[in-house]
Amino acid sequence: MQRAIPCWLMRGGTSRGPFFHRADLPTNTATRDRVLLAVMGSPDPRQIDGLGGAHPLTSKVGVVGKSAVAGVDLDFLFAQLQPDRDTVDTTPNCGNMLAAVVPFALETGLFQARGPTSTFRVRTVNTGIMCDITVQTPGGRVRYEGAARIDGVPGTAAPISIAFLDTAGSLCSDLLPTGRAQDDVVVPSVGSIRVTCIDNGMPLVILRAADLGRTGHESVSALNADAELKAKLEALRLYCGDRMGLGDVRSKSYPKMCLVAAPDHGGSIATRCFIPHVCHDAIGVLAAVTVGTACVLEGSVTQGLAVVPPGAIKTLSIEHPTGEFSVELEPDPEAPQTVKRAALVRTARLIMRGEVMVPNDVWPGP
């Protein structure tokens, strides 16, 4: 006997995973997590017995429901799973999967379209961050075809605009949880090194690649094979995670680690992000927002590397291994270490809809 659960497999930005109505999953957290592990086929490096794609970027789940919060349309719970572990982490955000929330809500009838374009306010349950998401809905249907291109995804698609309303200190106490734009930290296996500990939607530890003897332009495969570098990054992550008020992050997927270097392709800064133990083929949405924020903050480790455009509203091109990610930031002129608004464009697509089967002993029912 197996249990059938309604499921929509969706791509959001450069990530992919099954989406569920909140009402279709168990209300008990432990049972829900067992169900999600069974759905994805974790733990198994190939996730051969589930929907997972054997990579952290394709081991993600979205859970959506109507919000009871005044002025908010939808609640989005993001779950990060790992191919080879039995963990279900619902503490961080995922801005890529966020791009699929409104298309999912419209496809499944949670809401109807509001005209040629439809804007809905979404609350990320994980951290409480609010955002306004706008999708194209001509004729009352979600449009997926379009001319918007995002690096890390083949082809083009209809643009989805995401405007974040308040991202500072999503999991930490503040934008700069140590109180400084730059810290000199000493870790025995690494030595003394400069870092920027920052959280503008995603807790990040940003450091110059050159300070670890790397260029910051290496390929993903080269960095994933660099055991010495990964060991140093993990030592720094554990140390800085505690300094950021996140406690013991040994089993957590954050803070992410981000190497930065001078841009190589006309952008604002070059990045190599680890999520947290595998080098990202691109860069996460909120990681890009957070790196961009570091670029406009006085005294961060990006100074001297980042190319920041003039003007009150700054569009920064964050280079990554498979292209670039543009983020629009508006610093607060009255509070130099604050960003008032962050906006960006993603795309999404419905890939499959149907039912996913889970063993009856995972979630026994009538």
CATH number for the domain harbouring residue 140: 3.10.310.10
- In sequence order, what are the beta bridge partners of 281? none
Give yes or no: residues 133 and 188 share one domain: no
The pLDDT value recorded for residue 171 is 93
Is 208 part of a structural domain of the chain?
yes
Residue 176 lies in a domain: no
Same structural domain, 122 and 257: no
Residue 113 shares a structural domain with residue 196: no
> Per-residue pLDDT for 58 more than 80?
yes
pTM score, two decimals? 0.81
44 has a pLDDT exceeding 80: yes
Judge if 129 and 269 occupy the same domain. no
Domain count, the chain: 2
Residue 25 lies in a domain: yes
pLDDT band at 340 (very low <50, low <70, confident <90, very high): confident
Tens of pLDDT along 115-159? 999 999 999 999 999 999 999 999 999 999 999 999 989 999 999
Residues above pLDDT 90, as percent of the chain: 92
**Chain segment 201-237, per-residue pLDDT in tens:** 999 999 999 999 999 999 999 999 999 999 999 999 9
At residue 336, does pLDDT exceed 80?
no
Can the peptide bond before residue 276 be classed as cis, meaning omega within 30 degrees of 0?
yes
Verify that 13 and 100 share a domain, yes or no. yes
Residue 174 included in any domain: no
227 and 148 assigned to the same domain:
no
Residues 260-271: what's their mean pLDDT? 97
Give the Å distances, CA to CA, from 90 to 102, 192, 196, 236, 316: 20, 33, 25, 23, 29
pLDDT band at 77 (very low <50, low <70, confident <90, very high): very high
Domain hosting 111: range is 2-159+348-359
Asked if the model's pLDDT at residue 278 lies above 80, the reply is yes
362-to-44, 49, 53 alpha-carbon distances in Å: 17, 14, 21
What is the overall mean pLDDT for the chain?
95
Question: Is there a domain that residue 177 lies in?
Answer: no
Does 143 reside within a domain? yes
pLDDT band at 366 (very low <50, low <70, confident <90, very high): low
Do residues 246 and 106 both lie within one domain?
no
19 and 154 co-located in one domain: yes
Strand ranges, E, within the chain: 2-12, 15-21, 60-66, 74-81, 88-89, 117-124, 130-136, 160-164, 183-187, 191-199, 203-208, 256-261, 269-274, 314-320, 323-332, 335-346, 348-359
In degrees, to the nearest 5, what angle opens at C-alpha 63 toward C-alphas 199 and 109? Answer: 125
Question: Using CA atoms, how far apart are residues 269 and 296, in angstroms rounded to an integer?
Answer: 11
The rounded distance, in Å, linking the Cα atoms of 83 and 54 is 5
pLDDT beyond 80 at 34: yes
Q: What pLDDT sits at residue 338?
A: 81
Tell whether 205 and 140 lie within a shared domain. no
Give domain status of residue 165, yes or no: no
pLDDT band at 172; cut points 50, 70, 90? very high
- 237 and 333, same domain (yes or no): yes
277 pLDDT tier (thresholds 50, 70, 90):
very high
Q: Is residue 164 part of a domain?
A: no
Please tell me whether residues 152 and 189 are part of one structural domain.
no
Q: How far apart are CA 274 and CA 286, in angstroms?
A: 13
45 and 190 together in one domain: no
Report the pLDDT value the prediction gives residue 303, as an integer from 0 to 100. Answer: 96
